[in-house]
Structure 1
Amino acid sequence: MKAKYAIGIDVGGTNTKFGVVNRNGEILIQDRIKTNEKENVEGFIEVLAEKLQPMIDQFGGPEAFVGIGMGAPNANYYQGTIEYAANLKWKGIIPMADIMEEKFKIPTKLTNDANAAAVGEMQYGVAKGMKNFITITLGTGVGSGIIIDGNIVLGFNGFAGELGHVIVRNGGRLHKGTGLKGALESYASATGVRDTAIELLQSNPDIPSLLRSFTIDELTSETVFKCAEQGDKLANEVFEFTGKILGEALATFVLFSAPEAIVLFGGLTKAGDLIMKPTRQAMEENLLQVFKNQVKILYSTLNEADAAILGASALVW
C-alpha cells in the first residue's frame, strides 16, 4: 500500500497543532492540545496520542503515512532533538523524533518551526516554484527560514538561520529571553512594536496621542495599529521606526543569500503599508546596486491557522 498521507505537527509555546495532510496540501482533519499542560515530555506524548492515534487509525494505520513532520522551537533536524527550548517545560535535550517513532510507528522528521514554515511556503504557498527565498515570521518573536538552491539552510549543527537574533542596533534594547542587546526580534516583533510605543510615549510627554488612552498593560501591537489607522502621529512613528529597522535588516539578509523573494508571515503583516512602505524603502536604500529592485517582498498566501501544520507536513514528502 502506497503511503497517501503525512502528519504535520507544530509544537508552539502555548498550543500544539496537528493534522493529517494529503499530497495536494489539504488538511483533512486537525486538532490541538496544550503544549505545557504536562510537566514532562512523556505526559505530552500521552495527551497527543489520545487525539492523534484515532486519526492515524481512521486513515489506514501507520502504513498509510509517509511520515510525521514536526516543527518545534530549538529543533535540530540532524539529531531529531529539541534542545534547551526556553518556552517549553521540557528541559535539556529531548530525543523527540525517536520518541514519536517508537510511539506511533511512523518515520518522523523534526526541524525548527520557522524552517518548517519556509518548506511549507515552497511546497504549498506563494514561494512554490522558487529555489531561493527567505521567510520571516513577524509575530510575538521574529522567526526565519532560508532556502538556497532549493534546500533549507541548516548549518553544521542544524541551527542556522536565526535571523531574529541578528544584532541590528549595537548595545540596543535588551532581549529578556536571550540577554542579547539590539537584536532584530526586540524591534520588529509584536513585542517590539509595543516596546517602541512605550518608549516614544515616555520620551515625548507633550505630544498628544490616542495611545495615551491605554494603560501600559492595555498597549499591544494591535492597539498601536488601530491608532495609526486613525491617523495618530505617534502611532505612525512607531511603524515608521519598526519598518526602517526591518528594512535595514532585510537588506543585510539579501546580501548574503541573494533571494528571489522575502516572504513575510505573521500578525505584524496585518499592518499593511503602515509597516511595509518604510520597510521597502529602507531595504532598497541599503542594497548594493546589483540587488536594487530585484527582490520581491511578498505576503504568505497560506492560511495562518493551517500554515504551521502544512509546513511541518512538507518535511516528509
Structure 2
Amino acid sequence: MNKKSLAVGIDIGGTNTKFGIVTPDGKILEEGRIPTTNYPHITDYVDALYGHISPIIEKYKDQAPIRGIGIGAPNGNHFTGSIEHAPNLLWKGIVPLAKMVNEKFNLPCVLNNDAKSAALGEHKFGAAKGLKDFIMITLGTGVGSGIFVNGKLLYGNKGDAGELGHTVVRYNGRLHWSTGLKGTLEAYCSATGMVLTALELRKKYKGKSLLKKYKRKDLTAKAIYDCAMKGDKLARDVFKFTGTVLGEALANFVMFSSPEAIILFGGVTAAGDLIMKPTKKVLEKHLLTEFKDAVRLEFSQLAQNDAAILGASTLV
C-alpha cells in the first residue's frame, strides 16, 4: 500500500461480516457490518457487500485512491483466492470469492485465512510489530492461528498451513462438533469448547455453583467468565482446565518453531488473567530448559473488532 492510498478490509465471520476503509497507518476511517447468515447464496452476499461498501468507497475515493480490497475468511486460501470447505459458513464447497468481488467492484481483491489476516494486522500495527518469528492464536468461537517465520507468514505448499486449532492435544479426546476429529485444541480452548468443559465439570461437581443455574442453551463463555469473576470455584476450574490444555499445546508450538512471542487474540482473551495465568504456568512447565522464559506470551494490542479488518487491508 502506498503512503497516500486507502484499502478496504473485510472480515468474514460465521455470524457477521465486518468491513472498513483503512489508511496505511492503520486508522479505520469508517466501518460497518452485515449479517453473514442472511445470505445463503454467495451471489446475494457479494451484492450485499457491494451495496454497503460502494457508497463508502465513493465517499473517500476523492481523498486518496482505493488500492484494493482485502478479505479475511474462514478457510480462505491465499493461493487460490477461494474459501474452501468452510464448516462454519453457509456456502459449501469451493467459493471463488476474490474473483467474484474483483468483478463486482472492479478493484483488485486478495483473500486470506481470517486468522492469518489477524496475524498480518498484529505484525504491522500491534504487539508483533518488528518481530520476525511469532505465532498468533485466535481464541473465539473456534481456534485459529497465524505463524510468522523469518519475517514471513507461513502458508505451506497449498496455502493452508497453520491450522493449529485442529492439532490433536488429547488422544481419543472430545469429539469436535463439525470436523469429526477427536481431541483437538479447538474442541477445548475455543469459547464453544469452554462451554463443553463447563457442562462436563458441572455434572461431576457436588458443591454449589452459579453455573448450575444456567440451562444448557443459555450457558456461554461470557456467563462462565461472569461467574468466575464472582468467585465461583467451578467457573474458575473451567478457566484453569482451559489454560492447562492451551499451555500444553503452546509448549509444543514453541518447541517446533522457537518464536519470539505468542500473541493471544479473540473473545476468550477478555477473561484476562483468568486465562493468562494458568496458560503461562503450564506453558513454562512443559518447555525444555533452553526455551524457558524465552518466549513472550501476551494479548493482542489491537481492538478485537479491528484486527481482522486491519489485517485484511494489508493484503492489497
Give the share of equivalent positions with the same residue, in percent.
Answer: 53
1:262 matched residue in structure 2: 262
- CA distance in structure 2 between the partners assigned to 1:121 and 1:134 by the alignment: 10
1:296 matched residue in structure 2: 296
1:278 matched residue in structure 2: 278
2:197 matched residue in structure 1: 196
Deviations 1:125-147 (A, max 9, x none): 11111111111111111111111
User: Is this contact kept in 2: 1:118–1:311, CA < 8 A?
Assistant: yes
Amino acid at match of 2:35: K
Deviation at 1:266, TM superposition (A): 1.2
2:309 matched residue in structure 1: 309
Deviation at 1:188, TM superposition (A): 0.6
1:73 matched residue in structure 2: 74
Aligned with 1:109: secondary structure? strand
1:5 matched residue in structure 2: 6
Aligned with 1:239: secondary structure? helix
Deviation at 1:295, TM superposition (A): 0.4
Deviation at 1:158, TM superposition (A): 0.8
User: Is this contact kept in 1: 2:138–2:144, CA < 8 A?
Assistant: yes
TM-score, normalising length: structure 2 = 0.96
1:108 matched residue in structure 2: 109
User: Is this contact kept in 2: 1:15–1:32, CA < 8 A?
Assistant: yes
Deviations 1:239-298 (A, max 9, x none): 111111000000001111111111011111122222211111110111111110000111
Alignment of 1:1-317 (within 5 A): 4-60=5-61, 64-204=65-205, 206-316=206-316
Distance of aligned partners of 1:3 and 1:45 in 2 relative to their CA distance in 1, 3 Å threshold: farther
Deviation at 1:55, TM superposition (A): 1.7
Moved more, 150-159 or 111-120: 150-159
- CA distance in structure 1 between the partners assigned to 2:52 and 2:70 by the alignment: 17
Deviation at 1:116, TM superposition (A): 0.1
User: Is this contact kept in 1: 2:267–2:304, CA < 8 A?
Assistant: no
User: Is this contact kept in 2: 1:36–1:44, CA < 8 A?
Assistant: no
Instruction: Give the unaligned 5+ runs of structure 2.
Output: none
- CA distance in structure 2 between the partners assigned to 1:2 and 1:145 by the alignment: 26
Aligned with 1:252: secondary structure? helix
Deviations 1:199-249 (A, max 9, x none): 111123x22222112222222212222222222222221111111100000
Aligned with 1:217: secondary structure? helix
Instruction: Give the unaligned 5+ runs of structure 1.
Output: none
Count of equivalent residues: 315
Deviation at 1:79, TM superposition (A): 0.8
- CA distance in structure 2 between the partners assigned to 1:148 and 1:117 by the alignment: 16
Aligned with 2:104: secondary structure? helix
Deviation at 1:8, TM superposition (A): 0.3
TM-score, normalising length: structure 1 = 0.95
Deviation at 1:2, TM superposition (A): 8.0
- CA distance in structure 2 between the partners assigned to 1:228 and 1:55 by the alignment: 42
User: Is this contact kept in 1: 2:87–2:179, CA < 8 A?
Assistant: no
- CA distance in structure 2 between the partners assigned to 1:49 and 1:3 by the alignment: 23
Amino acid at match of 1:152: L
Aligned with 1:53: secondary structure? helix
Amino acid at match of 1:9: I
